[in-house]
Structure 1
């Protein structure tokens, strides 16, 4: 029995930090009201207003960019507090706890949302096992929440206090605050949080060997979760019930709950995939709607032409009598134009055929690699070769990521060629963008133990399209990581050209490339280049995309490299006017 109880306690200790994290992501009415009032009060501060808007939409990357812009141009302490609060919350939600603590520690004591700030600080210290520090922040957040009368937020704080006391083995205090948490959740009729609160209290009772009470609250949590639309919550409560039934010796019932938990887990994974597909479908629908609008404009133009047809025909007949020579010259000119257009169309068709050939070959190679790997994966599962199983899962993830990058580049390249990609130039803070891209690729950098240096000065602003600049940097950093050796080095830095343009250099210590390869990649052609290394999925499409988007932003693109001596990609882009 002790072994089974410890199994449930382990599950409980794993789940509580996740639950606290999910609570902290909520934007409650108290916070939303204050942020909207500040946006009205400082409506002339465009960067702050944008940061506030993106924060409420939970767009963490954009919030980081505009909050940094506001901090770089304003000395208003009140606005600075909110910008540091935005950045701390963003880093916390991206699980960069040290960065979150650094930002939140810069906020003054008179900050209006101090109880939320201190709650997040408590969670970050709880996540890093600094229990006494976490308890200190939670207690301070409790007093401040009562002072500002944000009683609804107290349920989060009580949950944090209860969890901390469990880790400190002060079980009577843990029970006290978990019961307070349940009371508030039931008062405000938040079923999901109430279900989680029941689970926390049940796990505590199991630790105290109060099995009847534990089973009672696990059952309440499970029954309440049936009303929820949160698949992760359903998976958690079903899994807990399977352990409960296993402890009771009812293995048949335990197996039923375990199957139900697996079904909810699969549903949660499928839901994430559906959301991703829906986002792509949304983009495609917008593109189709734009095409329809263009077609309608052409049709309206044709109707106008038909309405004026008789009048135009009369004028044309009169002109034909007096200007036959002119129209003959025009006919010859039109014939030449048609011939040029036909040649260009043939060329575009050749490019299309080449694109389909290269992309289909790489996709086929990728799918075949996944097929082979999955076959080995199945064999490893049967033989229980867990070491090989872990290697195959890592390999599958890498293949999937490379294939996704290929398709993403293909989509942007196609939209660029058909002039459907929207460009909007604005002031962009270069250091923040590089910092953001570094965070996005932090796991890949750590995997190959590559040292990354952001040497870009913090006072530089470019006048470019933000989305296309992110695409350029992502592709170049992805290539630098891919072709760098273990324990390599990648640096972003700048060089002044003149008062209007700036050089951005992306330098790596990778395998480099020959002069022939550089010449081929820099040719002014829309033709794609197939890499000789068949082990790497790609078409050269990412680099072509970087070249064309750099040109679209009014810049230039060049490469300096030697075999086994690394590579420098040099972008020259306009600074803010």
Structure 2
């Protein structure tokens, strides 16, 4: 059995980096010293973003800081934090380049070794990773327990990949000796790592009890990722032992953790509650306004009766008439907003009921098929049926995410903050999340990204747009197709993200309806004409970012989508 080490390693690695930062205040103190001494806004911004763990912004500002840094102390520091930010964003080549630019200042020696070890491990250069980690251990004069534990863990991973199981066993045991009994997450992962060492050597008597201990511990721990991995390990163990019924139970538990129905129900529940709250607030405001109008009418009558002259009476009458007209106009506006809220709620319910009906029925049929296959002992077909059910569940989850994002945006609850940051890391991250899906469909997913582009936009809303557009491109591109993602500076005002596929394309009629979304309100949408929530959400968020969404398509040739975003100010 081959366990998926990458997922667990990511979890343990970030734990280790954070522990390292907490134990040593060197970078924090050095950064404050440079900021106070130079009083340079760019320097201080880069340091502030690093301290707040906002690594995208830290990467951009430290790059600007390096352009104006003059002293060796400044260059060493900003190379260090930019290298760390590049590593966090999985830009390993850039991280290595930054580390190589740091001088031989001994203050940075341990930090450099620690980062190098982890970069090489991520880059699958296991021999170099081992050398860096061992040199760190030799030079560790303070006996940093938490970092040493992480290094033992990563050395164990290196030796597993090198298939030196004796060494892997040695370092995982060293890690286990440093783990405290209350550190449940570390205990679970260490036991699974040791179990994999034994299992790869076919020492089942030692491996299986450890897998079982990790699985039992994970039941009492809240981390869903550990629950997923421990259930998956048990499923593979039982499958190899030919205990297929038990294996399927573990696989189903793994699937439940991976795509929790509770999460989908929670999204639906939150959407409904948000809409109900919005409607109730609007209704309450209307009642208050009506009461206010009644009060104003009474005051008007009292003033009219008490008026001593015709001119005074007419003056007060004119005044209150204008007030009444203003209030009526305000109430009309409130009623219109209430109607929009109701139509938005009805539309979201329509999306959920209409678009969920088919996949839910299909998932039901898949489960019935799975039950029938198990009953008939058609074990070879079980895996395919399970994968189909998982794919349908992921598609349904994508729909519910769009519903949630639209609901939050309509209620102004979707966090939105336009900032300046480099475009390349964000696009790389979005593409990376779809590489496995593209590979599974035999689709060539390539990128051509300029590294110098800085844009001003809200990062989280742009991620939502990219996920929707890449998902559509993969969905409507057949096997052996191509998808190219590139960025370029379109003009002094805008930069462009271009997503070009060789998929089925869009008819002229449907393309015209999609382009109408730019100025289309939700109360005018006709779902029967094929206009969905995903594209409406993309248009809304791009418009909110002061950008443009352009679509060109030809049937049976492909589709090209361009996102124009405002450039960052110089």
| TM-score, normalised relative to structure 1 | 0.70
Aligned-pair CA distance for 1:84: 1.9
Q: 1:558 — aligned with what?
A: 550
The reply to whether residue 530 of structure 1 matches residue 522 of structure 2 is: no
Cα distance in 1 for partners of 2:337, 2:173 equals 74
Count, aligned residues: 532
Kept after mapping to 2: 8 A contact 1:512/1:561:
yes
Deviations 1:215-242 (A, max 9, x none): 99959967995996367489959989x9
**Judging changes above 3 Å, is the alpha-carbon distance between structure 1 residues 224 and 155 closer, same or farther for their aligned structure 2 residues?**
farther
**Judging changes above 3 Å, is the alpha-carbon distance between structure 1 residues 29 and 543 closer, same or farther for their aligned structure 2 residues?**
closer
Q: Partner of 1:427: helix, strand, or coil?
A: strand
Cα distance in 2 for partners of 1:101, 1:180 equals 31
Structure 2 counterparts to residues 90-129 of structure 1, below 5 A: 91=90, 100=92, 103-104=95-96, 106-108=98-100, 110-121=108-119, 123-124=121-122, 128=124
Cα distance in 2 for partners of 1:337, 1:164 equals 68
Aligned-pair CA distance for 1:48: 4.5
Aligned-pair CA distance for 1:544: 1.2
Aligned-pair CA distance for 1:408: 1.9
Aligned-pair CA distance for 1:211: 10
Cα distance in 2 for partners of 1:288, 1:40 equals 49
The reply to whether residue 404 of structure 1 matches residue 397 of structure 2 is: yes
Q: Partner of 2:451: helix, strand, or coil?
A: coil
**Judging changes above 3 Å, is the alpha-carbon distance between structure 1 residues 52 and 382 closer, same or farther for their aligned structure 2 residues?**
farther
Q: Partner of 2:560: helix, strand, or coil?
A: strand
Q: Partner of 1:452: helix, strand, or coil?
A: strand
The reply to whether residue 423 of structure 1 matches residue 393 of structure 2 is: no
Structure 1 residue aligned with 2:143, among 137, 146, 149? 149
Kept after mapping to 1: 8 A contact 2:289/2:331:
no
Kept after mapping to 2: 8 A contact 1:225/1:237:
no
**Judging changes above 3 Å, is the alpha-carbon distance between structure 1 residues 184 and 390 closer, same or farther for their aligned structure 2 residues?**
closer
The reply to whether residue 25 of structure 1 matches residue 17 of structure 2 is: no
Cα distance in 1 for partners of 2:197, 2:385 equals 38
Deviations 1:413-466 (A, max 9, x none): 233334443432222322222222112222222223333344443222222222
Structure 2 counterparts to residues 479-494 of structure 1, below 5 A: 479-486=472-479, 487-494=481-488
Cα distance in 2 for partners of 1:340, 1:237 equals 55
Q: 1:229 — aligned with what?
A: 221
Q: 1:74 — aligned with what?
A: 65
Aligned-pair CA distance for 1:541: 1.0
Deviations 1:285-324 (A, max 9, x none): 9999999999999999999999999999866875654354
Kept after mapping to 2: 8 A contact 1:19/1:196:
yes
Structure 2 counterparts to residues 95-244 of structure 1, below 5 A: 100=92, 103-104=95-96, 106-108=98-100, 110-121=108-119, 123-124=121-122, 128=124, 132-144=127-139, 146-161=140-155, 177=171, 180-185=174-179, 190=183, 193=186, 225=217, 229=221, 232=226
Cα distance in 1 for partners of 2:202, 2:231 equals 20
Q: 2:69 — aligned with what?
A: none
**Judging changes above 3 Å, is the alpha-carbon distance between structure 1 residues 429 and 330 closer, same or farther for their aligned structure 2 residues?**
same
Structure 1 residue aligned with 2:567, among 550, 557, 575? 575
Q: 2:382 — aligned with what?
A: 389
**Judging changes above 3 Å, is the alpha-carbon distance between structure 1 residues 169 and 557 closer, same or farther for their aligned structure 2 residues?**
closer
Cα distance in 2 for partners of 1:79, 1:485 equals 45
Aligned-pair CA distance for 1:68: 3.2
**Judging changes above 3 Å, is the alpha-carbon distance between structure 1 residues 540 and 220 closer, same or farther for their aligned structure 2 residues?**
closer
Deviations 1:184-238 (A, max 9, x none): 336x8756645765776788789999999x5999599679959963674899599
Kept after mapping to 1: 8 A contact 2:211/2:230:
no
**Judging changes above 3 Å, is the alpha-carbon distance between structure 1 residues 268 and 53 closer, same or farther for their aligned structure 2 residues?**
farther
**Judging changes above 3 Å, is the alpha-carbon distance between structure 1 residues 290 and 80 closer, same or farther for their aligned structure 2 residues?**
farther
Kept after mapping to 2: 8 A contact 1:503/1:573:
yes
**Judging changes above 3 Å, is the alpha-carbon distance between structure 1 residues 289 and 105 closer, same or farther for their aligned structure 2 residues?**
farther
Deviations 1:133-186 (A, max 9, x none): 454344223213x23532443334345556666777877766655554444336
Structure 2 residue aligned with 1:514, among 499, 507, 510? 507
Q: Partner of 1:559: helix, strand, or coil?
A: strand
Q: Partner of 2:425: helix, strand, or coil?
A: helix
Q: Partner of 1:492: helix, strand, or coil?
A: strand
Cα distance in 1 for partners of 2:564, 2:132 equals 48
Cα distance in 2 for partners of 1:199, 1:284 equals 41
Q: 1:84 — aligned with what?
A: 83
Cα distance in 2 for partners of 1:427, 1:189 equals 42
Q: 2:105 — aligned with what?
A: none
Cα distance in 1 for partners of 2:319, 2:6 equals 82
The reply to whether residue 496 of structure 1 matches residue 490 of structure 2 is: yes
CA RMSD in angstroms comes to 5.4
Q: Partner of 1:26: helix, strand, or coil?
A: helix
Cα distance in 1 for partners of 2:545, 2:199 equals 62
Cα distance in 1 for partners of 2:237, 2:342 equals 62
Cα distance in 2 for partners of 1:143, 1:496 equals 52
Aligned-pair CA distance for 1:80: 2.3
Kept after mapping to 1: 8 A contact 2:500/2:559:
yes
Q: 1:94 — aligned with what?
A: none
Q: 2:538 — aligned with what?
A: 546
Structure 2 residue aligned with 1:471, among 460, 464, 475? 464
| TM-score, normalised relative to structure 2 | 0.71
Unaligned runs of 5+ in 1: 1-9, 55-61, 92-98, 248-253, 533-537
Cα distance in 2 for partners of 1:489, 1:266 equals 31
Q: 1:437 — aligned with what?
A: 430
Stretch moving more, 371-380 or 148-157: 148-157
Q: Partner of 2:15: helix, strand, or coil?
A: coil
